[in-house]
A and B are shown apart, each in its own frame.
Chain A
Amino acid sequence: AQSVTQLGSHVSVSEGALVLLRCNYSSSVPPYLFWYVQYPNQGLQLLLKYTSAATLVKGINGFEAEFKKSETSFHLTKPSAHMSDAAEYFCAVSDQAGSGYSTLTFGKGTMLLVSP
């Protein structure tokens, strides 16, 4: 079984400051990892994904994440926060379904608050 832990249910930054959202995972097999963003009363949108290629993954809206196997981490960063980045962010890990298909297990989410 796999699991995801997101440290901090809320993170507050000022506009222009560095954004760092933390994600640690547990998986019995090499993981595939994802970050999603959710705006109020909307579905989830994929920011980026790690699928065993480059360990530094670049996504949309200036976000990137680095896969660190030794730390079992996949933290999300952005050099400079914008007001429009205020949303809830979810980290997810894929499992190994016996049929070859997979489901995603999600963390509990981190709400990013951006102040002017």
Chain B
Amino acid sequence: DGGITQSPKYLFRKEGQNVTLSCEQNLNHDAMYWYRQDPGQGLRLIYYSQIVNDFQKGDIAEGYSVSREKKESFPLTVTSAQKNPTAFYLCASRKTGGLTGGSGRRTGELFFGEGSRLTVL
């Protein structure tokens, strides 16, 4: 079955260490996204990528980095510059063909992975 796989499910990090969260999709989606979830704050966009070798900062990109070398993969690195990295991280992808609105916007929904919970010790 097609879907999005995030790993690891749980990750512990010491302060000052970089960690990389994996996100792989076999849905043949062009666009991929990383969101951060904190209790009571909903989901906040970190980075997103529309095509291979291109990505844009979201609302809270500071302290994070990404790469998009393959269509299927969009890893997120949480760097030591991120002051409060303990959170639940969600990867998502999106089909960019098919239904469009009158303005030509893509209207498809996001498909989410199961998430990765990062805890800083």
**Residues of A participating in the B interface, judged by any CB pair closer than 8 Å:** 9, 29-30, 32, 34, 36, 41-46, 49, 51-52, 90, 94, 96-97, 99-109
Contact with A along B81-121 (1 / 0, CB 8 A): 00000001010101010010111111101111111010000
The contact of A106 among B43, B94, B109, by CB within 8 Å, is B43
The binding surface of chain B is classed by DSSP as strand
Nearest A residue (CB) for B44: A106
B69 to chain A, nearest CB (A): 20
Chain B residues lying within 8 Å of A109, measured Cβ to Cβ, are 40, 42
- Supposing A43-B90, A44-B112 touch, asked if A102 and B107 sit within 8 A by C-beta, the answer is yes
**Which of A36, A46, A101, A108 contacts B106 (CB under 8 A)?**
A101
Known contacts A9-B40, A101-B96; decide if A43 and B113 are in contact (CB<8 Å): yes
Among B43, B105, B117, which residue has its beta carbon within 8 angstroms of that of A100?
B105
In the bound complex, do residue B112 and residue A51 qualify as a contact, i.e. CB atoms below 8 Å apart? no
In the A-B complex, list the 6 residue pairs whose CB atoms are closest, starting with the nearest. Answer: A43-B112, A108-B42, A106-B43, A44-B112, A106-B42, A51-B107
Q: How far is the CB of B71 from chain A (nearest CB, A)?
A: 15
Question: How many residue pairs bridge A and B at CB < 8 Å?
Answer: 74
Tell me if A's interface is mostly helix, strand, loop or mixed: loop
Indicate whether A90 sits within 8 Å of B105 (C-beta atoms), given known contacts A43-B90, A43-B113, A51-B99: no
Query: Is the Cβ of A30 less than 8 Å from the Cβ of B101?
Result: yes
Are B115 and A96 in contact, with the CB atoms below 8 A?
Answer: no
Interface residues of B in 14-57 (CB under 8 A from A): 31, 33, 35, 40-45, 48, 50
B12: min CB distance to chain A, Å: 15
Q: Do B115 and A103 touch across chains, with their CB atoms under 8 A apart?
A: no
Is B58 at the interface (CB under 8 A from chain A)? yes
Q: Are B106 and A102 in contact (CB under 8 A)?
A: yes
Are the C-beta atoms of A96 and B105 separated by less than 8 Å? yes
CA of A52 to CA of B100 in the docked complex: distance in angstroms?
10
